Amino acid sequence: MVRIKRAIISVYDKAGVEEFARELIALGFEIVSSGGTARHMRGRGLTVTDVEELTGFPEMLDGRVKTLHPHVHAGILARRDKPQHLEQLIKMKVAEVDVVAVNLYPFQEVCLRPGAAEEEVIENIDVGGPAMVRSAAKNYQSVAVATSPDHYPLIVDELKKHGEVSPATKRLLAKRAFELCSRYDAAIAEYLREGRAAGARLAPDIPLQLERRLVLRYGENPHQEAGLYAEAGRPLPFEQVHGKEISYNNILDMAAAWELAAEFKRPSCAIVKHTNPCGCASAGGLLRAYQLACQGELPPAPASRFGGIIGLNQPLDQATAAEIIAPGSFYEVIVAPEFEPGVAEMFAGRKGWGQNVRLVRAKADLWREAHRLRSAAGGVLVQTVDDRGADPTKLDFVAGGRPDQAMLDDLLFGFTVVKHVKSNAIVVARGLQAVGIGAGQMNRLASVRLALAQAGDRARGAALASDGFLPFPDNVDEAARAGIKAIIQPGGSVKDAEVFKRAGELGVAMVLTGIRHFRH
């Protein structure tokens, strides 16, 4: 008696399933299915056996129970190399299953949907699907398990060539199946974790289930391998629309540029090099914001921005694009929420770097991070995102009186930019333009001097922002000599009184935010 080959197909994602079923039927398989999958295939003229015909038990509880039955799982789990297993199947009239194709309810997608009700999220926890996947993966010596439409051609090709799926391929598919179940369970546990409902931002444990989305040419240096991994089920918050392959360093700088530009409501441009801004400005229009950002450094320009990354908080228009590609400029990446029609063609038509520059669309609605993770000391450091800014209604004016509104705007602008500069960080701001930036110095005075040197005469009448407190009055002395009229800083030094007194003596307004913005 010739044994009938059987495949159980029960999928939420119907992509490719009709073609897969047709190929299996042509190869002599009986297709067993349930619910929506069976209706989908019958509607396309395919012959399908209902799961309840296999089990002798109808679906119940609104479809919550349909494949959780011995006639399903015994047929999947029976070892073909054990005669007693096969004898039991015959005795219980259970059909062997050779292929299982299952993909799961979209729990993660629903969970991430803004405003998703808890009832909807819970109903998208798949039970029967993962059970079949685990059964098939456990018995991979006998059963091929497909958990993605990408697996269908692999199974069909091997069945056509060899009459069976090879042991190596079945083992690989089993590995993929258990990885899927692991990610799925971790996402559910994260949703239900203790403290989530109460608003706790750091859990006792954070399961990391990451999928590789991009294979990068190399890491920070050519001898380092690298890839971009993202949380399973979560789409990347950006899309490249033009240019050559994006690199590890490009992604780091692109994220830094976008996150700074996105801080502002006015049309704004940030130019970043090695994750530090070398130019930033807000203006009445995007073109002017770009021009001012380019003038962040004194001549000879463009020393730092050459080869940098541009972040824009508004769609890139043709007029600004024309200015960007003007002779003498060179950028690696431009990230913006959108690119107006014709802009990509403008870069493609420019010989040299314009054809290679990466144009990246930032998906602002997806660019949400709850935590920052960094590997260190054999572990992972986790912190919440620095999403606080200075509250204009809670500033403390401790010396020199209250600045006028234009100066307050510059102070707040500078304090926003300094949040994105590596500590010790100083920003000199004037007219909503960063005219001097001191980054990554081992002492704050060195950062002050660096920022003032970049600003030159533009420091006269300007604002100075510091990411941390000013430890000594010498910082104020240096700023006052350069013509700085107001300083914004967190406060909190043991020498605050001396610092405030010195500012008052020198006629420099001193404004405290109570917020520190160290960035290491």
- Residues marked active site are found at 138, 274
Query: Which residues does 167 contact at the CB level (< 8 Å), separation at least 6?
Result: 141
Q: Cα torsion at 466, 467, 471, 476 (round to 10°)?
A: 0
DSSP secondary structure, 323-337, as one string: HHTSTT--EEEEEES
Where is 444: in which H helix or E strand?
helix 444-455
Amino acid identity of residue 338, one-letter, is: E
Q: Quick one: which of 238, 240, 324 has its CA closest to 279?
A: 324
Contact 280, 296 (CB under 8 A): yes
For residue 183 the two structure tokens come to: 């990610």
Query: Which residues does 185 contact at the CB level (< 8 Å), separation at least 6?
Result: 130
Q: What's the CA gap between 446 and 440, in Å, rounded?
A: 9
CA 344 to chain centre: 24
Q: What's the CA gap between 228 and 214, in Å, rounded?
A: 5
Amino acid identity of residue 271, one-letter, is: I
Q: What's the CA gap between 267 and 281, in Å, rounded?
A: 9
Is 312 exposed, middle or buried, given 0-12, 13-18 or 19+ CB atoms closer than 10 A?
buried
Contact 429, 407 (CB under 8 A): no
For residue 318 the two structure tokens come to: 């043709």
Rg (CA), the chain: 30
For residue 128 the two structure tokens come to: 């029967």
Is 123 exposed, middle or buried, given 0-12, 13-18 or 19+ CB atoms closer than 10 A?
middle
Is 418 exposed, middle or buried, given 0-12, 13-18 or 19+ CB atoms closer than 10 A?
buried
Q: Quick one: which of 469, 509, 452 has its CA closest to 485?
A: 509
**Percentages helix, strand, coil for the chain, rounded to the nearest 5?**
40, 20, 40
* Cα four-point dihedral sign 143, 147, 148, 150: negative
- Other C-beta atoms closer than 10 Å to the C-beta of 515 total 17
The crossing angle, in degrees rounded to 10, of helices 444-455 and 474-482 is 0
For residue 428 the two structure tokens come to: 């000199």
